[in-house]
Amino acid sequence: MAINTEINRLLNFAIQRGLMTKEDIFYSANRLIDLLKVHEFVPEKIDETLETATPILENMLDYAVAEKLLDDTVNERDLFDTRIMDCVMPRPSEVIRKFRADYSQSPELATDNYYKFSIASNYIRKTRIDKNIIWQAPTEYGDLDITINLSKPEKDPRDIAKAKTVKSTGYPKCLLCRENEGYAGHAGHPARETHRIIPLNFRGHGWFLQYSPYTYYNEHCILLNVDHIPMKIDRNTFENIFDFITEFPHYFVGSNADLPIVGGSILSHDHYQGGHYTFAMAKAPIEKEYKFAGFDEVEGGRVKWAMSTIRLRSKNRQQLIDLCVKILDDWRKYSDESVDIFAYSGETPHNTITPIGRRRGDYYEFDLVLRNNRTTDEHPLGLFHPHAEVHHIKKENIGLIEVMGLAVLPARLKDEMAKVRENLAANVEDISSIEEIAKHAEWYKEIRAKYDNINADNADGILKTEIGIVFSKILEHAGVFKRDEKGLAAFDKFVESVSK
């Protein structure tokens, strides 16, 4: 392999993508030859245009492995290719200046260019994300987004063993802390040398905007608190959501709930997730209007959605936020034994909210999803959590992304669904004796009973539709008020108690 050519290819890519300019060539080339233990750099003319730097990086990594600069494991390669890309990266201050200059023209231009930059830098590993299997499934709640997540590679046993030897320093404190920017990483922490974050300020407090390295939808961003403090849903949450969609009116933003089971994977650091995407939830209509006494400038209603959701809409900031706080405070202490909702077990709280905000022209629209994390003997993982009958598809927590209508499903389903599809097409009556897919046996029987003619041409489409239906059931399980007459009446009863 001509490593000199690969260096030239990377420099050409970086210039094309705006990571550097021609004036930076020898500076960046010298950093690269030092990293790769090469003695000299010779400029070459490169005539190519690539979507990502991945093909070049893979060649460079193969060279580095051959030269024994690293072990050939996924984690070692990830750490090293991030060091390679950092050689052609601008400093954080340059990225911030560019973002602010773009923002002065339009917020959408700023985020669009920042997102493209995050892909070009390989911080967002687009080549891996493109491996995800994605589709939309029609349900009574609209077209739900389904993703079988293949973007996160399986851990190599050698990486796992090495991670155990890494001394814990507590720096950075978590994956969201701003100290990650530029951090080299190690066996137990991903490299962040290509990470660049944008400082924001809401009402005198510092925040940072970044994109998720494993985006699940268009421009999947994260808004993180400058301070490493736990998630907490309160008035500040609604104020921050309002401020964010004021500054970025083309984005939605929401927060995971602040309690275990119904919260996200990182509750230790206050953060939000947003992006430039319209989920099925945002398209769902109001099925019953609500009026709230003292909040004449706020429109309200119950959303036709699998989970128990109140939608509020207004141009009046104060009234909108005050009503959000009132609903939250009232829900925190609300119990209804008739539908198994209890606010507390002793001193342990169970009720909280998953809030989402978006703009509709001049209006601000908030969806407040009522959550409860109580467990029972019958449902030890959570009463309002995917029940055992759907665990063959998904048993993980229902966080913000799922709440809005996007299923993030485990990678195991790729092979399992291929096997199920094969048996469906072959008209196999029972799969309970096939070890790798026996967990799907009851569901498989239901599918066979539902469709008259399943064959090789339609089996894949049928499976994708049925997975969507299972996901809609999962969301219903997570809803605190069931979608039957009794449940909806109980929902209205709670809202009436807020309105008084």
Residues 197, 201, 202: CA angle, nearest 5 degrees: 130
pLDDT reported for residue 389: 96
pLDDT mean over 149-156 = 76
Please check the confidence at residue 157 and state whether its pLDDT lies above 70. Answer: no
Q: 10 Å Cβ neighbour count for 275?
A: 25
Rounded to two decimals, the pTM is 0.95
CA distances from 394 to 37, 74, 144, 413, 433 (A): 47, 26, 15, 10, 21
User: Residue 348: is it exposed, middle or buried by C-beta count within 10 angstroms (0-12/13-18/19+)?
Assistant: exposed
Could you read off the pLDDT of 393-436 as tens digits, one per residue?
999 999 999 999 999 999 999 999 999 999 999 999 999 999 99
Could you read off the pLDDT of 310-339 as tens digits, one per residue?
999 999 999 999 999 999 999 999 999 999
Question: Cβ distance 63 to 3 under 8 Å?
Answer: yes
Please check the confidence at residue 163 and state whether its pLDDT lies above 80. Answer: no
Q: Where does 202-351 have alpha helices with state H?
A: 235-247, 280-283, 317-332
Residues of the chain with pLDDT > 70, as a percent, come to 97
